[in-house]
Amino acid sequence: MKYGERIASLREKHAMTQEELSNKLGITRASLSHYENNRRAPDYDTITNIAGFFNVSIDYLLGRTDDPHIVLDEEVREFVDSLELSDDNILEKFSLTIDGKKLTPEEAKRFIAFVRAERSINNG
């Protein structure tokens, strides 16, 4: 579940409108709508405020865990945050998916090649 779905779910669970929650968080209703629809990612302060307001972990909001009160061990979080997709061992051990369908090894390699090409164009 993406962060936006988690935020919307928590808001609905607490029977709040977007207007009510955005007022409590000190953000605009439009910003909250963008977050809930995954059109824009909340900044660190906002995600921290949302987690604090609902008394859940940031790891839960970001989808790193399905338990709202568990915080990932620092080493696990560091590992998850820095997976190197071009590492063949990672591709063998983990299931990479898009739209719920597992990428084949060839699709994963084409995806990596696409990202590299796009970066070279944008940074070149």
Q: pLDDT tens, 20-50? A: 999 999 999 999 999 999 999 999 889 989 9
Question: What is the rounded end-to-end Cα distance, in angstroms, of the chain?
Answer: 35
Provide, rounded to the nearest whole percent, the portion of the chain with pLDDT above 70: 81
Asked if 30 and 41 touch (Cβ cutoff 8 Å), the reply is: no
Q: How confident is the model at residue 76 (pLDDT cuts 50, 70, 90)?
A: low
* 124, pLDDT greater than 60: no
Q: What are phi and psi for residue 114, nearest 5 degrees?
A: -60, -45
Nearest residue to 68 via CA among 6, 5, 4 = 6
What's the pTM? 0.56
